[in-house]
Structure 1
Amino acid sequence: MWWKECKDLQEEIVAMRRELHKIPELGFNLPKTREFVVKKLDEIGIPYTLSEKDSSVIATMKCGKPGKVLALRADMDALPITEDTGLSFSSTHPGCMHACGHDTHAAMLLGAIKVLYPHREELSGEIRFFFQTAEELAKGSAIVIENGGMEGVDAVFGIHIGSILDKTIPCGTIACIPGPIMASYDRFVLDVKGVGCHASTPEKGVDPINIASHIVLALQTINAREIAATDAGVITMGMIRGGEQYNAIPSTVHIEGTTRALKEDIRQKLAKRIGEIAKTTAEAFGGSVDYTMDWGAPPVINDKDMALFAQDAIRDIFGEHMVTYRESPNMGGEDFALYLQKAPGAFMFLSSTNPAKKTDYPHHNPKFDVDEDVFWMGSASFVAIAEKFLK
């Protein structure tokens, strides 16, 4: 019943989140964020190791008796977004914002540690707490794994806050769904090459803007005509840059986009066909293309038994009505998927959508915010899972 202690920590968890929200940092190098996390771990007294490859931290709690190894994860990185929430604790780092709730994830995991650590002698086994960088780049979990974080782990769990599944899920509800729940997410880059010339004599050059336009349209036919309607897949071009003068045809056009899939074979097919179609389209118009696929994370596939285990643990403390079971995978991505390739586990969602508090903006939006009243529930879910798994 230790989860009840999380209620008493609610104000502290909120305060930690607000401090982290002020100091968002990007990618792998999060010096201020790590300093804050380490300070809190020192206050608790739990031992930890610092990564030499990035700013990640792994805290380790050895329990009173030998037993299983449990891993609990929070991400810490932010986004290159200028905040527009008007919050009193808004970002103090220009052009950088916690617009996906990672500040909350770190605060909730710190809250769980503060409750669990004093009870360590009453449990069997070990808990590793991951504070991870670069989730937004789909690279941070790989470093935790390289640093040995998943060695010997029997189960791994994580929580994401917000409206990531569905705005209709009531605030404070936890979704824990067996099977595929999030898509793979990868980034592709196309550098289309032509021959620049004056706009009045296009016949003297090779127009990469024309080529890029045909490539963008052609890539949309992959899902429409090459992927079965029952297999989810997304190809989106999010960036296209080319030209500097209205009366000049440039030599290059730069395109960047992302692919999403719920199955690995569909993920691989999307990548293959993007390269083939871009290459042949460019050649048909006399140009060429350099294609790069920046592999991110595979689909997030929850282990059925671990998802049901987490459901039971959370239902025991919050009741049936606070846990949703429906199958509802979405095309967002998460590098938590790499942990699930190393050990069975489950990734959960904590709804914080509350229109009255203006916390219904989508993730990665300059106005994104979360309902702070549910923070203790995230910590309590971690505690309940740990207590049930290691007792």
Structure 2
Amino acid sequence: MVSTFPNPASVDLSRVRLAIRSLQPQLVEWRRQLHQKPELGFQEKLTAEFVSSKLQEWGIEHQTDIAQTGIVATITGEKPPTSHSALSTQPSPHPSLREATPTGTPRANSPQKVLAIRADMDALPIQELNEVPYCSQHDGVMHACGHDGHTAIALGTAYYLQQHRQDFSGTVKIIFQPAEEGPGGAKPMIEAGVLKNPNVDAIIGLHLWNNLPLGTVGVRSGALMAAVELFDCTILGKGGHGAIPHQTVDSVVVAAQVVTALQTIVARNVNPIDSAVVTVGSLHAGTAHNVIADTATMKGTVRYFNPAFQGFFKQRIEQTIAGICQSHGAKYDFKYWELYPPVINDVAIAQLVRSVVEEVIETPIGIVPECQTMGGEDMSFFLQEVPGCYFFLGSANPEKDLAYPHHHPRFDFDETALAMGVEIFVRCVEKFFNHDYQKLSS
């Protein structure tokens, strides 16, 4: 299938409107400035200051310091609405959102519709190995997942919409979110009220994706990304001499049986039609050749698409550990965290995005409909609250040596994707407020 992907050098940007194509140099400049100053989750102070300064320069009303470093910008269109939709009137619990409603922005009882666009801002604890002029200036921190590009695309979208308010009739809320990589900024922003006042009707977001080449977009209804759950387990045995095992409870033997048994949970408990993963990524025990270890520790992760599995793996993994430990006379300490639910796209909004991509990208394979990954994303929390669509924007270009995977110290992407991302977002805004997405889903 990879051989049928288009040559990135042949990608035609003629369907990106001239006003957005003219923004490309600025998009690249913003992205590279952000790339040079990467910051970890909830530490994005310089990034937030950069975003806020641009929004202020363009006269876009926005609130800062939401969930520590998050920002929400609000832009209201001037085109008369073709119809109305009722919105709920719950007030925002975040003081800044309650106190400052942007000029021209409808209050919570406004009949205008509201579309949110989400972009994440944080970087990763990785030492960059790229030799480029815009290399990270922060030791041990790097934008190795494309969030600098997401922020630049969101800024470009905000700038264009502010300059072309006559082309849409509703309200757009652009959410600049901290800490997607961890510990998670989406939920705190939701709790702070970013989807309220005015109430958001739908949300969209994108992820630059080096698993797809430039000129392709991965968009689908239903599950796109998996739930993310983690577990730690310490096997508590009884150490002793390696030559006298009968005096011990061998934590290594117990741990080895646990690791093997955990693989049967998916193989024999999950419908083969469903997808799930149980991975033990770390196992440590012992210090010497002839010593039976007192303890063995393991760490692992669980991934699945079907929300019905929430709670199942936690229970089944502990049952498996407990049974094996009991049979060997060992004890255990077990901890489990449910981090992010699966990313589930709404049928109607996914079809809206798909129709827009067909207009923007003209290549042999523009849309990759079955693009899924067991990777996780806290965009899922937004999608639990309102219908929406998260999609992958292809950004790899092997010919330019821009195809390293995400979270790699040499990750980088083809910046041509930046203008394409802005164009897709802008057209989604225009089409959403024209109610075309409702026809698409019928």
**What TM-score does the superposition give when structure 1 sets the normalisation length?**
0.92
Q: Secondary structure at the match of 2:56?
A: helix
Identify the residue that residue 415 of structure 2 maps to in structure 1: 372
8 Å CA contact 1:176, 1:325 repeated in 2: yes
Identify the residue that residue 132 of structure 1 maps to in structure 2: 177
Identify the residue that residue 95 of structure 1 maps to in structure 2: 140
Kindly provide the amino acid, as one letter, of the partner of residue 70 in structure 1: L
Larger Rg: 2
Identify the residue that residue 386 of structure 2 maps to in structure 1: 343
- After superposing the two structures, state which structure 1 stretch, 60-69 or 295-304, moved more: 60-69
Equivalent residues in 2 for 1:97-116, closer than 5 Å? 97-116=142-161
Kindly provide the amino acid, as one letter, of the partner of residue 343 in structure 1: V
Equivalent residues in 2 for 1:131-170, closer than 5 Å? 131-137=176-182, 139-151=184-196, 152-164=199-211, 167=212, 170=213
Identify the residue that residue 354 of structure 2 maps to in structure 1: 311
Q: Does 1:175 align with 2:218?
A: yes
Distance 1:286-1:28 versus aligned 2 partners, 3 A rule? farther
Deviation at 1:354, TM superposition (A): 1.1
Q: Does 1:79 align with 2:124?
A: yes
Identify the residue that residue 46 of structure 2 maps to in structure 1: 32
Identify the residue that residue 77 of structure 2 maps to in structure 1: 63
Kindly provide the amino acid, as one letter, of the partner of residue 278 in structure 1: I
Cα deviation digits, residues 112-171 of structure 1 (max 9, x gap): 11111122354322111111112122621111211111232111000111234xx4xx41
Number of residue pairs matched by the alignment: 387
Identify the residue that residue 22 of structure 1 maps to in structure 2: 36
Kindly provide the amino acid, as one letter, of the partner of residue 208 in structure 1: S
Which ranges of structure 2 fall in alignment gaps of 5 or more residues?
1-14, 81-110, 435-442
Distance 1:174-1:306 versus aligned 2 partners, 3 A rule? same
Q: Does 1:278 align with 2:321?
A: yes
Cα deviation digits, residues 96-120 of structure 1 (max 9, x gap): 2211111111111111111111223
Distance in 1, matches of 2:62 and 2:146, equals 23
Distance 1:118-1:81 versus aligned 2 partners, 3 A rule? same
Please provide the CA RMSD for this pair.
2.2
Cα deviation digits, residues 237-282 of structure 1 (max 9, x gap): 2222334455544443332211111101234322221111122222
Kindly provide the amino acid, as one letter, of the partner of residue 379 in structure 1: V
Deviation at 1:207, TM superposition (A): 3.0
Distance in 2, matches of 1:200 and 1:54, equals 56
Q: Does 1:194 align with 2:221?
A: no
- After superposing the two structures, state which structure 1 stretch, 170-179 or 68-77, moved more: 170-179
Distance 1:162-1:271 versus aligned 2 partners, 3 A rule? same
8 Å CA contact 2:65, 2:71 repeated in 1: yes
Instruction: Give % identity.
Output: 38
Cα deviation digits, residues 62-107 of structure 1 (max 9, x gap): 3336510000011111222222222222222222221111111111
**What TM-score does the superposition give when structure 2 sets the normalisation length?**
0.81
Identify the residue that residue 7 of structure 2 maps to in structure 1: none
Q: Does 1:362 align with 2:405?
A: yes
Q: Secondary structure at the match of 1:301?
A: strand
Kindly provide the amino acid, as one letter, of the partner of residue 360 in structure 1: A
8 Å CA contact 1:361, 1:369 repeated in 2: yes
Distance in 2, matches of 1:228 and 1:10, equals 47
Distance in 2, matches of 1:294 and 1:7, equals 44
- After superposing the two structures, state which structure 1 stretch, 91-100 or 345-354, moved more: 91-100
8 Å CA contact 1:262, 1:299 repeated in 2: yes
Match of 1:268 among 311, 336, 341: 311
8 Å CA contact 1:223, 1:233 repeated in 2: yes
Distance in 1, matches of 2:49 and 2:245, equals 57
Distance in 1, matches of 2:304 and 2:401, equals 31
Distance in 1, matches of 2:54 and 2:365, equals 30
Cα deviation digits, residues 314-346 of structure 1 (max 9, x gap): 323334756315223221211111111111111
- After superposing the two structures, state which structure 1 stretch, 312-321 or 376-385, moved more: 312-321
Identify the residue that residue 382 of structure 1 maps to in structure 2: 425
Identify the residue that residue 352 of structure 1 maps to in structure 2: 395
Identify the residue that residue 58 of structure 2 maps to in structure 1: 44
Kindly provide the amino acid, as one letter, of the partner of residue 143 in structure 1: P
Deviation at 1:295, TM superposition (A): 0.9
Distance in 2, matches of 1:380 and 1:234, equals 36
Deviation at 1:201, TM superposition (A): 4.5
8 Å CA contact 1:185, 1:296 repeated in 2: yes
Q: Does 1:5 align with 2:48?
A: no
Deviation at 1:305, TM superposition (A): 1.0
